[in-house]
Copies of this chain bind each other. A is one copy, B any other.
Amino acid sequence: MLQELKEAYGFIFEEELLKEIEHTGVLKFAREGEIIMDINDYISSMPLLLEGAIKILREDKEGNELLLYFLERGDTCALTLSCCLGQTKSEVRAVAERDTRFIMIPVSKIEEWTAKYKSWRNFVFESYHSRLTEMLETIDTLAFMNMDKRLLRYLQDKAKINQSEELQVTHQQVAYDLNTSRVVVSRLLKKLEMEGKILLQRNSIVVHEL
Protein backbone atom coordinates (compact mmCIF):
# COMPACT_ATOMS: atom_id res chain seq x y z
CA MET A 1 0.00 0.00 0.00
CA LEU A 2 2.78 2.44 0.85
CA GLN A 3 4.05 2.48 -2.72
CA GLU A 4 0.62 3.34 -4.09
CA LEU A 5 0.12 5.93 -1.38
CA LYS A 6 3.36 7.63 -2.27
CA GLU A 7 2.46 7.78 -5.92
CA ALA A 8 -0.81 9.54 -5.21
CA TYR A 9 0.05 11.59 -2.12
CA GLY A 10 3.84 11.59 -1.82
CA PHE A 11 4.14 15.14 -3.06
CA ILE A 12 1.70 16.55 -0.54
CA PHE A 13 2.21 14.63 2.71
CA GLU A 14 5.39 14.20 4.72
CA GLU A 15 6.87 10.76 5.36
CA GLU A 16 5.54 10.56 8.91
CA LEU A 17 1.96 11.30 7.89
CA LEU A 18 2.16 8.76 5.06
CA LYS A 19 3.21 6.17 7.63
CA GLU A 20 0.28 7.08 9.85
CA ILE A 21 -2.10 6.83 6.93
CA GLU A 22 -0.71 3.43 6.04
CA HIS A 23 -1.10 2.34 9.63
CA THR A 24 -4.63 3.57 10.41
CA GLY A 25 -6.25 3.78 6.98
CA VAL A 26 -8.31 0.88 5.70
CA LEU A 27 -7.71 -0.07 2.08
CA LYS A 28 -10.95 -0.56 0.15
CA PHE A 29 -11.93 -1.61 -3.33
CA ALA A 30 -15.08 -0.86 -5.29
CA ARG A 31 -16.15 -2.36 -8.61
CA GLU A 32 -17.44 -0.10 -11.37
CA GLY A 33 -21.04 0.88 -10.62
CA GLU A 34 -20.86 0.00 -6.95
CA ILE A 35 -22.42 2.46 -4.50
CA ILE A 36 -19.64 3.47 -2.11
CA MET A 37 -21.72 5.81 -0.01
CA ASP A 38 -25.41 6.65 -0.20
CA ILE A 39 -27.69 9.52 0.68
CA ASN A 40 -28.61 9.51 4.40
CA ASP A 41 -25.76 7.17 5.27
CA TYR A 42 -23.99 8.09 8.48
CA ILE A 43 -20.40 8.83 7.63
CA SER A 44 -17.54 8.27 10.01
CA SER A 45 -14.60 8.10 7.66
CA MET A 46 -13.37 9.84 4.56
CA PRO A 47 -11.83 8.35 1.41
CA LEU A 48 -8.45 9.09 -0.15
CA LEU A 49 -8.49 7.96 -3.78
CA LEU A 50 -5.56 5.85 -4.94
CA GLU A 51 -6.76 4.59 -8.30
CA GLY A 52 -9.91 4.83 -10.40
CA ALA A 53 -12.68 7.41 -10.27
CA ILE A 54 -15.83 8.13 -8.32
CA LYS A 55 -18.87 10.09 -9.37
CA ILE A 56 -20.84 12.15 -6.87
CA LEU A 57 -24.59 12.40 -7.42
CA ARG A 58 -27.41 14.44 -5.95
CA GLU A 59 -31.00 13.16 -5.77
CA ASP A 60 -34.34 14.85 -5.05
CA LYS A 61 -37.42 13.39 -3.30
CA GLU A 62 -38.85 12.12 -6.58
CA GLY A 63 -35.69 10.15 -7.23
CA ASN A 64 -34.36 12.40 -10.00
CA GLU A 65 -30.58 12.33 -10.15
CA LEU A 66 -27.91 14.83 -11.09
CA LEU A 67 -24.18 14.31 -11.47
CA LEU A 68 -22.28 16.84 -9.37
CA TYR A 69 -18.63 16.02 -10.16
CA PHE A 70 -16.00 13.33 -10.46
CA LEU A 71 -13.22 12.48 -8.03
CA GLU A 72 -9.91 10.97 -9.13
CA ARG A 73 -6.54 9.95 -7.73
CA GLY A 74 -5.32 12.35 -5.06
CA ASP A 75 -8.83 13.65 -4.37
CA THR A 76 -11.07 13.35 -1.39
CA CYS A 77 -14.70 14.36 -1.05
CA ALA A 78 -15.12 17.59 0.88
CA LEU A 79 -18.81 16.87 1.32
CA THR A 80 -17.92 13.67 3.11
CA LEU A 81 -15.33 15.52 5.14
CA SER A 82 -17.95 18.05 6.06
CA CYS A 83 -20.36 15.29 7.07
CA CYS A 84 -17.69 13.59 9.16
CA LEU A 85 -16.80 16.70 11.10
CA GLY A 86 -20.41 17.77 11.53
CA GLN A 87 -21.69 14.29 12.43
CA THR A 88 -24.44 14.58 9.82
CA LYS A 89 -25.84 12.27 7.18
CA SER A 90 -24.56 12.19 3.62
CA GLU A 91 -26.27 14.61 1.26
CA VAL A 92 -25.00 12.81 -1.83
CA ARG A 93 -24.37 9.42 -3.38
CA ALA A 94 -20.91 8.21 -4.39
CA VAL A 95 -20.69 5.60 -7.16
CA ALA A 96 -17.55 3.98 -8.55
CA GLU A 97 -17.16 5.31 -12.09
CA ARG A 98 -14.47 2.69 -12.73
CA ASP A 99 -12.93 -0.01 -10.57
CA THR A 100 -11.54 2.02 -7.71
CA ARG A 101 -9.07 1.68 -4.84
CA PHE A 102 -9.16 4.04 -1.89
CA ILE A 103 -8.16 4.36 1.75
CA MET A 104 -10.72 5.17 4.41
CA ILE A 105 -9.58 7.45 7.24
CA PRO A 106 -11.64 7.51 10.48
CA VAL A 107 -12.95 10.85 11.81
CA SER A 108 -10.82 10.72 14.95
CA LYS A 109 -7.66 10.77 12.85
CA ILE A 110 -8.95 13.52 10.59
CA GLU A 111 -9.22 15.82 13.59
CA GLU A 112 -6.00 14.67 15.17
CA TRP A 113 -4.00 15.22 12.00
CA THR A 114 -5.57 18.63 11.46
CA ALA A 115 -3.87 19.77 14.65
CA LYS A 116 -0.67 17.79 14.06
CA TYR A 117 0.29 18.17 10.39
CA LYS A 118 0.34 21.39 8.42
CA SER A 119 0.34 19.43 5.16
CA TRP A 120 -2.86 17.70 6.22
CA ARG A 121 -4.50 21.04 7.09
CA ASN A 122 -3.54 22.35 3.69
CA PHE A 123 -4.89 19.25 2.02
CA VAL A 124 -8.21 19.61 3.82
CA PHE A 125 -8.54 23.28 2.89
CA GLU A 126 -7.40 22.57 -0.63
CA SER A 127 -10.11 19.92 -0.90
CA TYR A 128 -12.79 22.30 0.28
CA HIS A 129 -11.58 24.80 -2.26
CA SER A 130 -11.62 22.28 -5.13
CA ARG A 131 -15.07 21.04 -4.29
CA LEU A 132 -16.51 24.51 -3.91
CA THR A 133 -15.02 25.39 -7.28
CA GLU A 134 -16.51 22.30 -8.88
CA MET A 135 -19.88 23.02 -7.37
CA LEU A 136 -19.69 26.52 -8.83
CA GLU A 137 -18.92 25.02 -12.23
CA THR A 138 -21.88 22.69 -11.88
CA ILE A 139 -24.05 25.69 -11.06
CA ASP A 140 -22.66 27.51 -14.10
CA THR A 141 -23.63 24.71 -16.44
CA LEU A 142 -27.13 24.52 -14.95
CA ALA A 143 -27.76 28.24 -14.85
CA PHE A 144 -26.03 29.49 -17.97
CA MET A 145 -25.81 26.67 -20.49
CA ASN A 146 -28.35 24.88 -22.69
CA MET A 147 -28.61 21.13 -22.71
CA ASP A 148 -26.48 20.69 -25.86
CA LYS A 149 -23.48 22.43 -24.28
CA ARG A 150 -24.02 20.66 -20.97
CA LEU A 151 -24.09 17.36 -22.82
CA LEU A 152 -20.85 17.98 -24.72
CA ARG A 153 -19.14 19.16 -21.56
CA TYR A 154 -20.33 16.07 -19.74
CA LEU A 155 -18.97 13.78 -22.45
CA GLN A 156 -15.62 15.56 -22.40
CA ASP A 157 -15.35 15.36 -18.61
CA LYS A 158 -16.31 11.73 -18.63
CA ALA A 159 -13.79 10.92 -21.36
CA LYS A 160 -11.07 12.67 -19.38
CA ILE A 161 -11.87 10.88 -16.13
CA ASN A 162 -12.00 7.51 -17.89
CA GLN A 163 -8.87 8.28 -19.87
CA SER A 164 -10.54 7.17 -23.08
CA GLU A 165 -12.18 8.86 -26.04
CA GLU A 166 -14.66 6.02 -26.26
CA LEU A 167 -17.35 6.00 -23.59
CA GLN A 168 -19.22 2.77 -22.96
CA VAL A 169 -22.60 4.25 -22.04
CA THR A 170 -26.19 4.14 -23.20
CA HIS A 171 -28.17 7.29 -23.88
CA GLN A 172 -30.36 6.46 -20.88
CA GLN A 173 -27.37 6.48 -18.53
CA VAL A 174 -26.31 9.88 -19.83
CA ALA A 175 -29.87 11.12 -19.37
CA TYR A 176 -29.82 10.09 -15.70
CA ASP A 177 -26.59 11.97 -15.00
CA LEU A 178 -27.90 15.15 -16.62
CA ASN A 179 -31.41 14.79 -15.22
CA THR A 180 -33.13 14.88 -18.58
CA SER A 181 -34.86 12.28 -20.77
CA ARG A 182 -33.39 9.65 -23.05
CA VAL A 183 -35.14 11.13 -26.09
CA VAL A 184 -33.61 14.54 -25.49
CA VAL A 185 -30.15 13.00 -25.14
CA SER A 186 -30.53 10.96 -28.35
CA ARG A 187 -31.69 14.05 -30.21
CA LEU A 188 -28.82 16.23 -29.05
CA LEU A 189 -26.23 13.48 -29.50
CA LYS A 190 -27.36 13.15 -33.11
CA LYS A 191 -26.91 16.89 -33.51
CA LEU A 192 -23.40 16.70 -32.02
CA GLU A 193 -22.60 13.85 -34.41
CA MET A 194 -23.78 15.94 -37.38
CA GLU A 195 -21.46 18.71 -36.23
CA GLY A 196 -18.60 16.19 -36.25
CA LYS A 197 -17.93 16.51 -32.53
CA ILE A 198 -18.70 12.91 -31.63
CA LEU A 199 -19.27 9.51 -33.24
CA LEU A 200 -22.22 7.35 -32.21
CA GLN A 201 -22.08 3.58 -31.96
CA ARG A 202 -24.24 1.08 -30.19
CA ASN A 203 -23.51 1.30 -26.45
CA SER A 204 -20.68 3.69 -27.00
CA ILE A 205 -19.89 7.31 -27.83
CA VAL A 206 -16.56 8.46 -29.25
CA VAL A 207 -15.68 12.01 -28.25
CA HIS A 208 -13.54 13.86 -30.78
CA GLU A 209 -13.01 17.31 -29.22
CA LEU A 210 -11.14 17.03 -25.97
Contact = CB atoms under 8 A, between A and B. Distances in A.
A89 B21 CA distance: 33
Contacts of A16: none
How many copies of this chain does the complex contain?
2
Interface string A81-99: 0100110100110000000
Contacts of A64: 143-144
A78 interface: yes
A210 interface: no
Given A132-B131, A135-B132, A140 B58 contact: yes
A142 B139 contact: yes
Given A82-B128, A125-B86, A139 B139 contact: yes
Question: Interface range on chain A: under 10, 10 to 19, 20 to 34, or 35 or more?
Answer: 20 to 34
A66 B132 contact: no
A112 interface: no
A79 to B, nearest CB: 6
A82 B140 contact: no
Given A66-B144, A121-B114, A179-B144, A139 B128 contact: no
A170 B139 CA distance: 25
Contact of A143 (B66, B78, B82): B66
B129 A68 contact: no
A183 B155 CA distance: 34
A41 interface: no
16 contacts: A58-B139, A58-B140, A60-B140, A60-B143, A60-B144, A62-B144, A66-B143, A78-B128, A85-B125, A86-B126, A128-B132, A132-B132, A135-B135, A135-B139, A139-B139, A144-B179
Which 5 pairs of residues, A with B, have the shortest CB-CB distance? A142-B142, A60-B144, A82-B129, A66-B143, A135-B135
